[in-house]
Amino acid sequence: MAELLDQSEVFSSNFEPKMANRFIMYIDGIPSFMIKMASRPSLQIPRVTLDHINLKRYIAGKPEWQELSISLYDPIVPSAAQAAMEWIRLSFESVTGRMGYSDFYKKDITFNALGPVGDKVEEWTLQGAFITNFEGGQMDWASGGDPVMVNLSISYDQAILQF
């Protein structure tokens, strides 16, 4: 016989979704107010095939954290492009071609989702983060006054969901 569901199990009156516009990200050297958009961490676990006679079995392979995309407003002062390039110069100096030690350019990033009253409802720590792609934005005389954006791709060793 089918079991009846209690309405409180299906419809919660305490439901409050996390909102996409309620977040703050802390990156050493980049002021938080510049960060307009950031993707949340994502993990890909590849499937490994184990062949055995006429059968296939599958197990989990090595997990890989996917790159984050971050968009920064680029104010005149302080410049987001300059802040990002200073971070990049810790790993690669374009004038001399010198590469840096990972201890210099890898940073830890904190990513907080906020509740309606500004309380932290979720916290991610991204360890060993560094810039893998820099896009300096686009200038356009036909623009209606849109702000210039700097787009970054960030790679990291691991992400830890604290709460």
Rounded Cα distance, 39 and 159, in Å: 13
* Percent of the chain clearing pLDDT 90 (strictly above): 88
| Amino acid at position 35, single letter | I
Q: Where are the domains of the chain?
A: 17-40+67-161
Which pLDDT value is given to residue 2?
66
What are the CA-CA distances from residue 93 to residues 30, 90, 97 (Å)?
A: 19, 7, 5
Which pLDDT value is given to residue 12?
63
110-128 pLDDT tens trace: 999 999 999 999 999 999 9
Mean pLDDT across 103-109: 97
Partners of 69 in beta bridges: 153
pLDDT at 4 > cutoff 80: no
Mean pLDDT across 42-61: 97
pLDDT at 25 > cutoff 70: yes
Specify the CATH number of the domain 17-40+67-161. 2.30.110
Which pLDDT value is given to residue 30?
97
Partners of 85 in beta bridges: none
Rounded Cα distance, 116 and 69, in Å: 24
Would you call 50 exposed, middle or buried from its count of C-beta atoms within 10 A (0-12, 13-18, 19+)? exposed
pLDDT at 56 > cutoff 90: yes
Q: Report DSSP letters for 103-156, one per residue.
A: HHH-EEEEEEEE-TTS-EEEEEEEEEEEEEEEE-----TT-SSPPPEEEEEEE-
